[in-house]
Amino acid sequence: MNSLKTIASLALLIAPLTGCFVETSGDSSPPPPPEPVPVAPANGTLVLDWSINGTTDPNQCYQSSAAAIAISVAFDDGTPAGTFQQDCTTFATSITLQAGRYTASAELIDANGSPRTTAVPINPFSINGNDQLNIPIDFPASSFF
């Protein structure tokens, strides 16, 4: 029983020590607002669909020795944004671009990267971010070398 009284006494002595302590300063002004977090411009997607002589027949690629499409994209000020390639027989590709205004052109190339067609210009376009822009183009028979 004596040990029970000792434990109870110790518990009463320790209890105030386990409480929370709050420290305040004399300054009551609110903290400054947080710095704004920079937000990166949103990206959008250019989807380019192509055809050869108005068709999406893979045999058109084989007959013309076109292995791939090469798409050159530039910002409207002429700064290159990139060159993108896709297998000719897929007849579609998606290109992720940051928001902005662009110009582009496309040509079909052979397995060595040599052009098989003249460059087909793509009208200037805008990517607004979080959007998808579909542009169809055609490589007519007259565009082949």
Distance CA 54, CA 5 (A): 98
pLDDT number for residue 38: 74
The Cβ of residue 48 has, within 10 Å, a number of other Cβ atoms equal to 22
Stated pTM of the model: 0.73
111: in domain: yes
Structural domains counted in the chain: 1
CB environment 88-123: b (16+ within 10 A), e (fewer): beebebebebeebebbbebbbbeeeeeebbeebebe
pLDDT tens profile 86-106? 999 999 999 999 999 999 999
Domain residues for 78? 43-143
Distance CA 52, CA 9 (A): 93
CATH number at residue 127: 2.60.40.3540
